[in-house]
Amino acid sequence: MKILLLIPFYTGSHKAWANGFKEYSSHEVEIFHLPGRHWKWRMHGAAITFARMLTDSDFKPDRIFATDMLDVALFRATAKIDVPIYTYFHENQLTYPWSPTDEDTSKGRDKHYGFINYTTALASDKVFFNSHFHKDSFLAAAKKFLRSMPDHQNLNTLDQIESKSSVLYLGMDLARFDPFKKAKVRNKIPVILWNHRWEYDKNPEEFFDLLFKLKERSFDFKLIVLGQAYGKTPPIFEKAKQTLADRIIHYGYADSFDQYASLLCKSDILPVTNIQDFFGGSIVEAIYCGCYPLLPNRLTYPELIPEAHHKKHIYKDDLELRLKKLLIEWNSINYVNTLAEHVNSFDWSRIISKYELQFLNT
């Protein structure tokens, strides 16, 4: 079978996911992609660009696999191709928290992008979400969105979307961390990790404010701050760099995967404060590398670890108390990272069969 991947935003996790699917699939996979920038323009214009690229190409796909930044309805109309189109939702603009610094915020939230996600789901033959939380929240938000329209709300279309929707967890290349895990040691002074994007939706204010309190009260810890900054970085990061300077082992984007993997394996505790995640790839990577996670009871996080471990690793409103207790008892805790084997189920070598099955069943 020939599968064409259409990736309008070819960078970061989108790029890694596409390359991983191509590498592990037993089918012949071709990738059409555009640079990972100007996301709003990608959602409007990528469909026309990809339709032209397909017309000019000798590759004749049996299936097309798109991601959520493609306007599938416009692509269908422009490409004029009778091939099943499946869409994978990494995120969506109906439920994605709107940045207070976004230029559209002062005018009220622009609904065009959420509408494109809705019509894309409607125009696709199959729709996949990267978590159950994502699927459920998208359908709920779409209902609220349509009900806000003045008439002809077409609420029955949500049943159509739901009937062709399912969950395919994010495929990841976790095996590449294995050589670095061999050097993993338990630090006597625990190392706290941040390995998310440097953006407001990852809630860095709560994370760093907590660390400021811990330092003021003389709790012993070290800190590794990883992740990529896009555009304007929240001011809290600069404050953290100065206030926690004596605790910081590393601060900033890792220059290579080797450095990133090595730093993850030097870390011990992963307190998560994020207010947005549709899956949580960086969290899975840290858990796989042996970090002790403290995850909020929201979003997709309860899905990432077995329910039997929720009492120990899922918090509600007691993150500060939990982290303090963990730091105090760190050298007396016999922590065996059984979660690594669980999250290894997301490795491409183990999850690809679930993807392949979807392509065989039309």
188 vs 191: CA distance, rounded Å? 9
- pLDDT band for position 98 (cuts 50, 70, 90): low
Q: Is the predicted pLDDT of residue 107 greater than 80, yes or no?
A: no
7 vs 116: CA distance, rounded Å? 16
Q: What is the DSSP letter of 93?
A: T
Q: pLDDT value at position 97?
A: 73
- pLDDT band for position 102 (cuts 50, 70, 90): low
Which percentage of the chain shows pLDDT scores above 90? 89
Q: Is the predicted pLDDT of residue 129 greater than 90, yes or no?
A: yes
- Paired sense of beta strands 28-35 and 63-67, if any: unpaired
Give strand ranges (E) for the chain.
Answer: 2-10, 28-35, 63-67, 85-89, 126-129, 165-167, 191-195, 222-226, 248-251, 269-271, 292-296, 314-315
Averaged over 168-186, what is the pLDDT? Answer: 94
82 CB-near residues (< 8 Å, 6+ apart): none
Q: Is the predicted pLDDT of residue 215 greater than 70, yes or no?
A: yes
- Nearest Cα neighbor of 139 from 107, 117, 108, 124 is 117
pTM comes to 0.93
Pick the CATH number of 2-173+347-360 from 3.40.640.10, 3.20.20.70, 3.30.450.20, 3.40.50.2000: 3.40.50.2000
pLDDT tens per residue across span 48-65: 999 999 999 999 999 999
* Element spanning 284, H or E: helix 281-288
Q: Is the predicted pLDDT of residue 109 greater than 60, yes or no?
A: no
pLDDT tens per residue across span 252-293: 999 999 999 999 999 999 999 999 999 999 999 999 999 999
pLDDT tens per residue across span 290-306: 999 999 999 999 999 99
Averaged over 239-256, what is the pLDDT? Answer: 97
Averaged over 138-160, what is the pLDDT? Answer: 96
239 vs 101: CA distance, rounded Å? 19
- pLDDT band for position 99 (cuts 50, 70, 90): low
| Residue ranges of the chain assigned to CATH 3.40.50.2000 | 2-173+347-360, 175-344
Choose between 96 and 13: higher pLDDT: 13
Q: Is the predicted pLDDT of residue 198 greater than 90, yes or no?
A: yes
Partner residues linked to 127 by β-bridges = 87, 165
Q: Is the predicted pLDDT of residue 20 greater than 60, yes or no?
A: yes
- pLDDT band for position 138 (cuts 50, 70, 90): very high
Lowest model confidence (mean pLDDT) among 132-136, 313-317, 335-339? 335-339
Q: pLDDT value at position 231?
A: 72
Domain 175-344 in CATH 3.90.550.10: no
Q: pLDDT value at position 106?
A: 47
Averaged over 233-249, what is the pLDDT? Answer: 97
Q: What is the overall mean pLDDT for the chain?
A: 94
